[in-house]
Structures are given as structure tokens and as C-alpha cells.
Structure 1
Amino acid sequence: MKTAKLVTGILCMVFTFLVLFQSCAAGISNTLGETGESSGFAGLMLALLMLAGGIVEVVTRKASGKGGSIAAVILFFLAALIGFPNAGSFSDLKIWSAWCLILGILNLISLFVKEKDNGGTDPS
């Protein structure tokens, strides 16, 4: 599970920049088109929450407690909760919200799964 948290945390950090770029474009489109949508701002908030969740996953991947997973669950579910209803014309926001929802579910599952201890031996 430690490797999975490292990989998904790094992916979140990388995807944040893509979401930020798309959100800026969506926000400019919303403003120029005077649509009254807030999908650009919602994408910005999702990106920041996704970045925070990714950082939490990377930093707490080796921690023995469950606090890091609980924090990541809250951050990812909050990001999905912001993204899904505010997608509007920014349809990629639904994809990023689904990514956050999946990561939130995986972190929730990791709370209940007990990792095996190899006794300090290398499995390879």
C-alpha cells in the first residue's frame, strides 16, 4: 500500500498543474461568455484539494497511524463534492472529480486493510 500511496500522490501532484491550466481556461471562458457558471473556480478548488491530498499521501505513506488516510479521504471526497455539481461547461471537471472520488474510496479501503509485516526482509 505504501507504493500505491506514493504513486497516486505523485500523480495527483502532476495532475494538479493540468487541472489548474484547464480551470484557468474555463474561468476565462466563463467570464468572457458571461455564462454565470463557476466551473473555473470549482476546478481551481479541486486542484488545490487534490494537491493537498497528494502531498498528504506521499508524506504519510510510511506512518503507522491512520490519520494520513483519514485526512486524504476527507480532502479527496471534498474535492469530488466540489467538482461534480459545478462542472457545467467544463466537462473535464467530471473526470477529475471521478479521479478524486476513486482515490478517496481507495484511501477509505486502506483504513480497513491491515498490511503484512515482512519482518524486515526484502520480498524480492
Structure 2
Amino acid sequence: MKTWKLISGILSIVLAAFVLFQSMAVGLGNSLSENGEASGSAGFLVAILLIAAGITAIVVRKSVKKGAHIALIIMYGLAAIVGFTMAGSYEDLKIWAGWCLICAILAVVAIIKSKNITEEDK
């Protein structure tokens, strides 16, 4: 799971840059067309959560405690919920939300695996 945390953390930070720039463009388009959508702002929030979760994943990659995994689940899960619910006409946001959902699920798997490892050590 250490490798997964490192790779997902790096990819999340890199993807956050794409999401951030796309969100700025979508937000500008939303304000110019006055369509009332908030998908640009939602993308910005997803990008911030991706950066935070990516940094957290890299920093706690060697940890087997539940707190680090729970933090990842909350950040990735919140980003996925925001991305899926507020995407509007910004369809790429659903792709980034899908990445967040995959990472949240893998964090749940990491909790289960770390629980099994600690039980075997007893």
C-alpha cells in the first residue's frame, strides 16, 4: 500500500494542476454566459482537495494507522461528492471525481489490509 499512496499522491497533485486550470476556464465561461452554474467553483474545490489529499498521501505513505487512511477517505470522498454533484456542463469534472472515488475506495482497502496485518501480528 506504500506504493499506492506514493503514486496516488503524485498523480493527485499533478492532476490538480489540470483541474485548477480547467476550472478557471469553465468558471470564466460560466460567468460570461451567465448560465447560473457553479461547476467552475466546484472544480476549484476539487483541485484544492486533490492537492491536500495528494500531499497527505505522500507524507503518510509508511503509516499503518487508521487516522491517515481516514483523512484520505474524507478528502478524496468529499472531492468525489462535490465533483459528481456539481459538475453541470463541466463533464471533465466527473472524470476527476471518478479518480477521487477510486482513491477513496483504495484508502478503505488500505484500512482493511492494515487491520488484517495488525491482527496477524498478535
TM-score between both structures, scaled by the size of structure 2: 0.91
Q: Give me the identity figure in percent.
A: 49
Distance 2:64 2:90 in 1: 39
The structural deviation recorded for 1:114 is 3.4
Alignment-derived partner of residue 122 in structure 1: none
2:61 counterpart letter in structure 1: R
Question: Alignment RMSD, CA only?
Answer: 1.5
SS of match in other structure, 2:114:
coil
Matched, 1:86 2:106: no
> Gapped runs of 5+ residues in structure 1?
118-124
Matched, 1:67 2:67: yes
Which deviates more from structure 2 when the two are superposed, residues 71-80 or residues 60-69? 60-69
| TM score, norm. by length of structure 1 | 0.90
- Measure the CA separation in 2 of the matches of 1:74 and 1:20: 20
SS of 1:113's partner is helix
- How much has 1:85 moved relative to structure 2? 1.1
Q: What CA distance in whole angstroms lies between the structure 1 residues aligned with 2:73 and 2:44?
A: 19
Matched position secondary structure for 1:84: helix
Q: Which runs of 4+ in 1 moved over 3 A?
A: 114-117
Displacement of 1:53? 0.7
Match of 1:103 in 2: 103
CA contact (8 A) 2:26 2:39 kept: yes
In 2, Cα distance between equivalents of 1:63 and 1:107: 12
Q: CA distance change for structure 1 residues 90 and 41 in 2, over 3 Å: closer, same or farther?
A: same
Gaps of 5+ in 2: 118-122
Figure out how many residues of one structure are paired with residues of the other and give that number.
117
Q: Which has the higher helix share?
A: 2
Paired position in structure 2 for 1:120: none
